[in-house]
Amino acid sequence: MSVKIKLPDGSVKQFDKPVSCFEAAQSVSAGLARAAICVEVNGVKRDMSYVIDGDCDFKIFTLKNEEGLEVLRHSTAHLMAQAISHIWKDAKFAIGPAIKNGFYYDIDFEGAVITVDDLDRIEKEMAKIVAEDLPIVREEMPRLQAIEFFRARGDNYKTEILSELDVETVSLYRQGDYVDLCRGPHVGSTGKLKVFKLTSIAGAYWRGDTKNKMLTRIYGTAFEKKQELDEYLQRLEEAKRRDHRKLGKELDLFDIFDEGPGFPFFFPKGMILRNLLEDFWRKEHVKAGYEEIKTPMILNQELWHRSGHWDHYKDNMYVVKIDDADYAIKPMNCPGGMLVYKRKPHSYRDLPERMAELGLVHRHELSGALHGLMRVRCFTQDDAHIFMTPEQIEEEIEGVVRLIDSFYKVFGFKYNLELSTRPADSMGTDEQWETATDALKKALNNLGKSYEINEGDGAFYGPKIDFHLEDSLGRTWQCGTIQLDFQMPERFDLTYVGQDGEKHRPVMIHRVVFGSIERFIAILTEHYAGAFPLWLAPVQVVLVPISESQSEYAHEVCDKLTALGYRAQVDDRNEKMNYRIREAQLQKVPYMLVLGEKERQDGTVAVRNRKKGDLGVMTLQAFLDKLQYETSSKSDDM
C-alpha cells in the first residue's frame, strides 16, 4: 500500500509502505528529523514513533515552536513525577500538565510535608534519570484494564479519571519503572530533558474543589538551552522584585489583611494613585461623550433572574436576605445600567447613549485563586454601557477601540487583540450571534487591527474583543474588553422609537478600559516597578534641607509647590542628608530637591532625579516648568 504525506507547503511525500513519523520527517530533512519533538497527523499531535498507515496532512514541530516546547515541558513533568516516586514511595500522582512557561504536577504525598528545600533533592534525582536516557514508550490498554492496573497500584486519582472517560482504549507512557496515564505525545527519551528547573510549591485542591483533599502542586519549567533557562529565571527574579504585593507594602499603597481575604485596603498614598487614575478616566470619558451614573450595590433576586446572571453566575454571587426577600450583591454593573436606560422613553435621536460607571462589584472567588490585587473578591469595574441602533454598531465599536487604544498609549502599553466567539452555554439565536460576531470583525478590520480568534470563549450573552496588555517584562494581562449584546435589551424589554414611529430593540455594548481599578493598579505597580511616572506618583517631590538653617526655605518652596497642585513634602528630620535622600529613593519619589545655604541665598534648588541622579542647580521657575511639562504630557522618566 502507498502512503501520501502532505506537508504544510503543499508538497507531497509518497511511501510504498506505512512509515514512522520520524522516517517521514527524515524524508524532508535529516536535521529537521533530529530536531523534531512531535508531529501533527491530520490535526492530531503524535509521537515521533507513531506509524502512519494512510494518506494524511503532516506537520513537524521542534523546540522553536510553542507546540514542541509544550511537549518538552509535559515530558519534564513526568520526569519530575518519576524522581518523586523514587524518593517518596507512597506518593500518588493526580494531574501534571504543561502550562504557559512551564509545567506543574499535583501530588498526594500521603502526609509527608514537602517544602522548597526538597526541590534540590528532586532535581538531583531527575538528573540521574536524564543520564540513564530511558526510552519513553507509549502503550495502549483497554480502559477497564487500565482501571484495574492503577487500582492495583493504589492510585485512586488515575482510577477516578479513568472511571469518568467514555472511551474504549486509553494510552499510558512508560519510562523505566514509572508508568503514567497520558494522551501524549512525549519526547523519545529522558535524555532529551536536560534543561529544567523546579521553581515553587503551592497547595491545590483535587479538581479545584474545596471539599476534596489538598494536594501539593510543584511548579517547574524546561527549555532547549541553558541560556534560555537562565534568562527566564532572571525574568522571574525581576518579577519577584516588582511583585505588587511586596511593593504595595513597601510603598505604603495597599494591602490585604487576614481579617478580609480578597478584600483590599487602600492607604492614603494608594488612594492618591487610585483617584488620579479615576480622574483621568472621567476626563477622557467626558471628552468621548459619556455620562457617568451610579447604581446600587444590592438588588433583588428577580433582577438577576431577568438578566440571566442567576442561572449562569450564581455560584460566584453573594446573596443576602432583606425583609425576608432574596437579594444579591452585584457581581456586575450591567443590570443596573439596564434599569437606568429603561427609566424613560427613548427616540432614535437619543442614540447612541453612552453611560459610564465606576461600580464596586463583589464576586466569590475560591481562596486558592486569590492573588493580591490581581484576583480579589471586591473590585471597581470601569464599566460603560452604550445603547444604539443596529446601524450604529460598527461606528460605536470603532470609537471604543480608539478610546481604549488612547488610554494604553499613555501608560506605554503595547497590546494584542483577541476576538472570542459563542460559548456552549449561551443565550440568543444563531442569527443574532452571527450578526454580532461579524460586526466586531468588521470594526477591527476597518481599523486595520490584527487579532486572533478565540473560539467558544465569548460571554454567555455575546461575542467580545479582549485587549491583552504587554508590560515591561513582556508579560501579558487581559484588561480591556468590548462585548456586543443583543440579549440584555431583549430580557429587559428595552426599546426606542425609530424614524418610522414604531418601537425597536436597541443593541448594547458592554466595555471596560482598565478592567478593574484594583487589577490595573497592580499591573501598573509591576510595570513601573513602583516608580510611577511623575503625574501618577503619590509624592512627586521631596525637599531635603542640608541643615536646620535651610528648613524654613524648604518649607517656603514646598508651600509654593503645593499651592500649584504638586504633591510635595519636606524631610527635615534629624538624620544625615544622604540617609534622607536614600529614603526618598527607596520610596521611588521622582524628584528630590537638596537645599543648602547657597540655594537658600540664591533662591535656587539642586535637583536630583530618582533615575538620572544629580541634574544640577536650577531656578525654582525652571524646575516648575519642568514639572509642568512632565505632568501635562504624562511623560515617564523610566
Active site members:
334, 363, 381, 383, 385, 464, 510
CB-CB neighbours of 203 under 10 Å: 11
Question: For residues 462 and 410, what is the distance between their CA atoms, to the nearest angstrom?
Answer: 29
Query: Which residues on neighbouring strands pair with residue 613, listed in sequence order?
Result: 609
Of the candidates 72, 18, 75, 80, the residue with the CA atom closest to the CA atom of residue 49 = 18
CB-CB neighbours of 140 under 10 Å: 9
The three cell numbers locating residue 475: 508579560
Q: Note whether 190 and 81 are within 8 A (CB).
A: no
Question: For residues 295 and 567, what is the distance between their CA atoms, to the nearest angstrom?
Answer: 32
For residue 263, what is the DSSP state?
-
Of the candidates 527, 544, 531, 536, the residue with the CA atom closest to the CA atom of residue 579 = 544
> Could you tell me where the DSSP H helices lie in 411-516?
430-446, 487-491
**Quick check: helix, strand or coil at residue 571?**
coil
Task: Spell out the residues 6+ positions from residue 224 whose beta carbon is closer than 8 angstroms to its own.
Answer: 63, 69, 72, 195
Question: For residues 415 and 413, what is the distance between their CA atoms, to the nearest angstrom?
Answer: 6
Q: Note whether 423 and 463 are within 8 A (CB).
A: no
Of the candidates 111, 121, 104, 125, the residue with the CA atom closest to the CA atom of residue 217 = 104
**Quick check: helix, strand or coil at residue 557?**
helix
Q: In what helix (H) or strand (E) does residue 305 lie, and over which residues does it extend?
A: helix 301-307
- Do the strands 102-108 and 92-93 form a parallel or antiparallel pair, or are they unpaired? antiparallel
Task: Spell out the residues 6+ positions from residue 608 whose beta carbon is closer than 8 angstroms to its own.
Answer: 581, 591, 592, 593, 594, 614, 615
- Do the strands 56-61 and 3-6 form a parallel or antiparallel pair, or are they unpaired? parallel
For the chain, how many residues are written? Answer: 638
The three cell numbers locating residue 488: 440584555
> Could you tell me where the DSSP H helices lie in 359-451?
393-410, 430-446
